Chains A and B, each alone.
Chain A
Amino acid sequence: MAARVIVVTSGKGGVGKTTTVANLGTGLALRQKKVVMIDTDIGLRNLDLLMGMENRICFDLINVVENECRSYRQALIKDKRVENLYLLPASQIKNKDALKAEQMIKLVEQLKEEFDYILIDSPAGIESGFENAVAPATEAIVVTNPEVPAVRDADRIIGLLQAKKIYEPMLVLNRLRSDMVKKRDMLDVDDINDILAIKLLGVVPEDEQIIVATNKGEPVVFNQQSKAGEAFRNIVRRLEGEAVPFMSFNTEPGVFGRFWKMLHGK
Chain B
Amino acid sequence: MKLFREDPSSKSQAVERLRLVLIHDRAKVSIGLLELLRNEIINAISKYVEIDEKQMEIELNSTEEKAELVANIPVLKVRRAIDH
A185 touches B9 (CB 8 A): yes
A-B interface contact total, Cβ < 8 Å: 41
- Nearest chain A residue, comparing its CB with the CB of B13: A148
> Least Cβ distance of A247 to chain B in Å?
20
Interface of A is mostly: helix
- Nearest chain A residue, comparing its CB with the CB of B10: A185
Q: Which residues of A contact B (CB under 8 A)?
A: 147-148, 151-152, 155-156, 159, 181, 183-188, 191, 194-195
- Nearest chain A residue, comparing its CB with the CB of B30: A159
- A selection of 10 A-B contacts at a CB cut-off of 8 Å is A148-B17, A148-B18, A151-B18, A152-B18, A156-B29, A181-B11, A185-B10, A186-B11, A188-B11, A195-B19
CB neighbours of A155 from chain B (8 A): 22, 25-26
- Nearest chain B residue, comparing its CB with the CB of A147: B14
CB neighbours of A151 from chain B (8 A): 18
Interface of B is mostly: helix
Residue B12 interfacial (CB < 8 Å): yes
CA A152 – CA B30 in complex, angstroms? Answer: 15
> Least Cβ distance of A108 to chain B in Å?
27
> Least Cβ distance of A112 to chain B in Å?
31
> Least Cβ distance of B33 to chain A in Å?
11
> Least Cβ distance of B51 to chain A in Å?
32
- Nearest chain A residue, comparing its CB with the CB of B12: A184
CB neighbours of A147 from chain B (8 A): 14
- Nearest chain A residue, comparing its CB with the CB of B19: A195
Mask: chain B, 3-36; 1 = CB below 8 Å from A; 0 = not = 0000101111011011101100110011000000
> Least Cβ distance of A159 to chain B in Å?
5
Q: Which residues of B contact A (CB under 8 A)?
A: 7, 9-12, 14-15, 17-19, 21-22, 25-26, 29-30
A152 touches B11 (CB 8 A): no
A184 touches B11 (CB 8 A): yes
- Nearest chain B residue, comparing its CB with the CB of A160: B29
Among A152, A184, A186, A191, which residue has its beta carbon within 8 angstroms of that of B21?
A152
- Nearest chain A residue, comparing its CB with the CB of B17: A148
B26 touches A184 (CB 8 A): no
- Nearest chain B residue, comparing its CB with the CB of A180: B11
CA A186 – CA B17 in complex, angstroms? Answer: 13
CA A152 – CA B23 in complex, angstroms? Answer: 11
A152 touches B25 (CB 8 A): yes
CA A41 – CA B22 in complex, angstroms? Answer: 28
A185 touches B11 (CB 8 A): yes
CB neighbours of B12 from chain A (8 A): 184
Among B10, B17, B18, which residue has its beta carbon within 8 angstroms of that of A184?
B10
A187 touches B22 (CB 8 A): no
Among B9, B10, B15, which residue has its beta carbon within 8 angstroms of that of A195?
B15
> Least Cβ distance of A194 to chain B in Å?
8
